[in-house]
Amino acid sequence: MTKQSPVDAHLREDTLESKQVYRGNFIDVRCDRVRLPNGATATREYVVHPGAVMVVPLLDDGRLVMERQYRYPLSRVMLEFPAGKIEPGEPPLQCAVRELAEETGYRAAEWARAGILHNAVAYSNEGIEVWFARGLIPGEAALDHGEFLDVSTASLDELLALAQTGELTDAKTLIGLLWLQNWRAGQWDIRWQAAS
């Protein structure tokens, strides 16, 4: 979480009351009463999320490892980069290594943190750490119980074409493609480290 700038103090909303509305296996829904900058009050409904990681897996030939997975809220199969929820106390890189191996079977020789994205700032505090992985070695996937997905590969150009036509719409994957384009163009830097 970043510190608030004193310059933004006139935009701040202060929590007056916080109430948990629903708690499931994955979702924690809150409804807070807040004081607005002008002194009035309002409610804010939002989802508390433990955070997640997304991996941009780079094969030696430049292609990317992708997943196709049915997403129930949208009633359709989505094309995505591998991703998953951070477990309590789990460092983000450890989560990235675990999720890549569990979902695709690949292990990486090198890792680089790109940054963090907040994909639903109006109704969730979820932050997704974006990691790049290269020097991939194939292996056996070990999907979680109830998890079903297909692993495939695609070039950056193929993925950009799917994004342009609206077939690839997953926000985290689109952000991953943005990072990838800018890194390959030499405009955004990422620092690689050997896998431990």
| pLDDT tens digits along 56-68 | 999 999 999 999 9
- Between these two residues, 31 and 1, which has the higher pLDDT value? 31
- For 7, the 3-state DSSP assignment is helix
Paired tokens of 37: 């900058």
Per-residue pLDDT for 170 more than 70? Answer: yes
Per-residue pLDDT for 4 more than 80? Answer: no
Per-residue pLDDT for 1 more than 80? Answer: no
Per-residue pLDDT for 118 more than 60? Answer: yes
Query: CATH number of the domain at 52-189, out of 3.50.50.60, 1.10.150.240, 3.20.20.110, 3.90.79.10?
Result: 3.90.79.10
In this prediction, residue 158 has a pLDDT band, given cuts at 50, 70 and 90, of very high
- Counting Cβ atoms within 10 Å, is residue 140 exposed (0-12), middle (13-18) or buried (19+)? exposed
Ranges for all domains in the chain classified under CATH 3.90.79.10: 52-189
